[in-house]
């Protein structure tokens, strides 16, 4: 019984923790900075988590099922795509007007998919090193995805709290929060890109990738 519960509990708990990774929080912050509804914020977090989980199941499942080996350059390239996305999100936030608009769920879904591309290999390698049984590994991935969805819902609710609470009374502050979130996203994306290029050697002859 304990052996059965281990991948379930471990997957859910690590999925919750995974939702709080810095790049995830920064990306979601750029989206929820303008939200004035708890429901909209929770929806964005859930859709982001679903997009992330779709990639996790497909790519992570293939890595586990076929014992695939991810070359360092490809692993670095996937993470570099996340850095470019963060820069793009930040730039879009800086250019947006302050008028409220209905949130599109396509955007957080595809952002989650891109993040999943960068994170699935690390998750799958962790599973391979600890869980050998295919069924237990599948359960782990499923619960990891569930934990990530729940975690992102909680994260987006916390991030949206200031603007939801303040509402229209401090619309100017909401604009400042949006601009700050955009600037933060650009800076974080640039720092991540630098780390991958300089420390990881993305464009060098011998790249070095440490999935985490």
Number of domains forming the structure of the chain: 1
Residue 30 within a domain: yes
101 occurs within a structural domain: yes
User: What per-residue confidence (pLDDT) applies to 2?
Assistant: 41
- Report if residue 50 sits inside a domain: yes
**Domain residues for 28?**
2-199
In a domain, 135, yes or no: yes
Please indicate, yes or no, if residue 208 is contained in any of the structural domains: no
Distance between CA atoms of 65 and 198, rounded to whole angstroms?
A: 33
Which is more confident, 10 or 76?
76
| pLDDT tens for each residue of 2-57 | 455 666 777 788 778 777 888 878 888 787 766 667 788 888 889 998 998 888 88
| Alpha helix ranges (H) inside the chain | 2-18, 22-32, 38-55, 61-66, 72-95, 106-130, 134-166, 171-194
Residue 15 tokens, joined: 């999925």
Taking 50 as the threshold, does the pLDDT of residue 1 lie above it?
A: no
Q: Which residues contact 178 (CB under 8 A, 6 or more apart)?
A: 33, 34, 93, 96, 98
Q: With contact defined as beta carbons under 8 Å apart, do 87 and 190 qualify?
A: yes
Can you tell me the distance from the alpha carbon of 147 to that of 11, in angstroms, rounded to the nearest whole number? 7
The answer to whether the pTM exceeds 0.85 is no
The token duo for 173 is 């502050």
* Residue 170: inside a domain: yes
Q: Which of 2-16, 132-146, 174-188 has the lowest mean pLDDT?
A: 2-16
91 domain residue, yes or no? yes
Q: For the chain, what is the mean pLDDT? A: 80
**Which is nearest to 113 in space by CA: 62, 60, 56?**
56
**Highest mean predicted confidence (pLDDT) among 68-77, 85-94, 128-137, 155-164:** 85-94
Cα gap 111→87, rounded to integer Å: 12
pLDDT higher than threshold 90 for residue 188:
yes
201: left (phi over 0), alpha (psi -120 to 50) or beta: left
* Domain-embedded: residue 183: yes
Q: Which of 122-131, 155-164, 165-174, 202-211 has the lowest mean pLDDT?
A: 165-174
């Amino acid at each position: 019984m304990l052996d059965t519960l281990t991948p379930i509990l471990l997957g859910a708990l690590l999925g919750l923790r995974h939702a709080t990774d810095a790049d995830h929080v920064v990306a979601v912050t750029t989206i929820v900075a303008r939200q004035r509804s708890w429901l909209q914020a929770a929806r964005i977090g859930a859709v982001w988590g679903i997009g992330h989980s779709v990639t996790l199941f497909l790519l992570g499942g293939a890595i586990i099922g076929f014992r695939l080996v991810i070359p360092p350059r490809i692993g670095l390239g996937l993470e570099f795509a996340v850095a470019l996305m963060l820069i793009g999100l930040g730039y879009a936030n800086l250019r947006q007007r302050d008028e409220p608009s209905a949130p599109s769920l396509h955007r957080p879904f595809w952002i989650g998919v891109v993040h999943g591309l960068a994170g699935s290999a690390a998750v799958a390698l962790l599973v391979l090193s600890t869980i050998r049984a295919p069924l237990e590994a599948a359960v782990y991935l499923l619960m990891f995805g569930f934990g990530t969805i729940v975690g992102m819902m909680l994260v987006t609710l916390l991030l949206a709290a200031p603007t939801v609470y303040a509402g229209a009374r401090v619309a100017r502050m909401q604009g400042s929060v949006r601009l700050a979130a955009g600037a933060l996203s650009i800076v974080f994306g640039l720092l991540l890109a630098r780390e991958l290029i300089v420390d990881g050697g993305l464009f060098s002859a011998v790249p070095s990738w440490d999935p985490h």
